[in-house]
Amino acid sequence: MREYLLCLVAAAAVTYLVTPLARALALRWGAMAEVRDRDVHDEPTPRLGGLAMLAGLCAGLLLASKLPQMGSVFDVVDSPTLALLSGAAIIVVLGMIDDRWGLAAPTKLAGQVLAAAVMALQGISIVWLPVGGTLVLDPVTSVLLTVLVVLVCINAINMVDGLDGLAAGIVAVAALAFFAYSYLLSVEIGFERATMATLVSALLVGMCVGFLPYNVFRARIFMGDTGSMLLGFLLAASIITLSGQIDPAAIEGGTLLPALLPILLPLAVLVLPLLDLGLAVLRRTRKGRSPFAPDKQHLHHRLLEMGHSQRRTVALMYAWTAVVAGAAVAMAFIAVAYALLLLIAGSLAVVFAALRPDSSRAASPGEGARTGTLG
């Protein structure tokens, strides 16, 4: 645990220290989030926060490469770290171009496919699925399914990046849940393949924690597509290395749900982004619009319309993510019935809070929503 905490702290510290530099670069380069009709923030805000997150990622990986606990990640010929960094580099370059000049949705989608394919072809890919026992995938299907998972994760996080601190906080909660389960597999049970998922999850938590002080309302810098796509990409990599490369049949123990939890956990930690993405695609296609055409009908917009302030809206979405993800992870440690009770009790508490907005606290000017380029 100590090694992972050291890497987390290193990622958080470097992200925190580099964020002002990323902000200065965005101001100098003109990578600004201008005020648009569908936005409520009242002044242009620098983007490129994702560059600071990338610095945090690299610092954490560099430190991890020097620690004995991480030997299975780095001491191999085809290191998954190279696959991760090469895909992340493509995502960051793509995001920087989009944050500065803007890219059409098809172009951005093509870049995401390229990054996912580069990572998959270098070894971070879905090898098998717990279907009818263990279904081993052929190389082509493996790459295609990996690309699909990466695309869904990237665009789900991109679409939920609509309020100050929202995407970073949700990813931090999701990554923390992944860390708990993958740590159990890699350290307590001894699955070396889970080490990569554990490390990436820890670094994700650190990157988000280091960035949030600058990004909570009122944000001094946005992560931009550079950041939201990077977070989605890394979360997808964590999901793939945890769920798609560990044979569920090899996991023993009644409380670990070997056939279910590896599939349930990714869905649980991404429940809000996936729900928001699905509703957005359905809503827009039913109106004959592109699935990528932005609007102001996301879940966070609806909470704002109900009378919640931006801070309260973000807190509610944090809480909902924590409840669902926490209940899913709890199944690995306690009886399923108790985990379900936690889920029901937590869900009722969040729904009760959502249905009781504080009408005495109207949102202040500028305390509204930002819609991502794809969202």
3-state secondary structure of 136: strand
pLDDT of residue 68: 81
3-state secondary structure of 33: strand
Q: Is 265 domain-assigned? A: yes
DSSP bridge pairs for 45: 33
pLDDT of residue 14: 98
Q: Is 365 domain-assigned? A: no
pLDDT of residue 224: 94
Cα–chain-centroid distance for residue 296? 21
CA distance 153 to 106: 17
Q: If you ran DSSP here, which 8-state letter would residue 125 be given?
A: S
Q: Is 31 domain-assigned? A: yes
pLDDT of residue 256: 44
What distances in angstroms separate CA 293 from CA 74, 132, 161, 225, 316, one per listed residue? 41, 39, 15, 16, 26
Domain that holds residue 165: 2-354
CA distance 111 to 66: 32
pLDDT of residue 191: 66
What distances in angstroms separate CA 14 from CA 67, 85, 92, one per listed residue? 18, 17, 17
- The two structure tokens encoding residue 283: 């809503």
pLDDT of residue 70: 77
pLDDT in tens, the chain (375 residues): 889 999 999 999 999 999 999 999 999 999 998 876 555 556 789 999 999 999 999 999 999 999 887 766 776 656 789 999 999 999 999 999 999 999 999 999 999 999 999 999 998 998 887 666 677 889 999 999 999 999 999 999 998 888 899 999 999 999 999 898 888 877 766 666 668 889 999 999 999 999 999 999 889 999 999 999 999 999 999 988 887 766 655 655 444 454 467 677 888 888 889 898 888 889 888 888 888 777 778 888 889 889 898 899 999 999 999 999 999 888 877 888 898 999 999 999 999 999 988 655 544 444 544 444 444
Q: How many domains does the chain have?
A: 1
What distances in angstroms separate CA 333 from CA 9, 139, 323, 325, 327, one per listed residue? 26, 34, 15, 13, 10
φ, ψ (nearest 5 deg) of residue 293: -70, 125
CA distance 63 to 58: 9
Q: Is 141 domain-assigned? A: yes
pLDDT of residue 169: 96
Output the CA torsion 292→368→154→108 (10° steps): 50
Whether 16 contacts 191, CB under 8 Å:
no
Half-sphere exposure of 3 (CA within 13 A, CB side): 17
pLDDT of residue 245: 65
- The two structure tokens encoding residue 233: 């990409």
Per DSSP, the residues of 334-369 read S-HHHHHHHHHHHHHHHHHHHTS--TTSPPPTT-S-
Q: Is 360 domain-assigned? A: no
Q: Tell whether omega for the bond before 2 is within 30 degrees of 0, i.e. cis.
A: no
**Assessment of whether the complete model's pTM goes beyond 0.75:** yes
pLDDT of residue 262: 66
pLDDT of residue 271: 86
CA distance 9 to 56: 9
- For 341, left (φ over 0), alpha (ψ -120 to 50), or beta? alpha
Q: Is 169 domain-assigned? A: yes
What distances in angstroms separate CA 1 from CA 31, 68, 182, 265, one per listed residue? 39, 12, 12, 21
- The two structure tokens encoding residue 56: 């945090």
Q: Is 228 domain-assigned? A: yes
Output the CA torsion 102→105→106→107 (10° steps): 20
Q: Is 362 domain-assigned? A: no
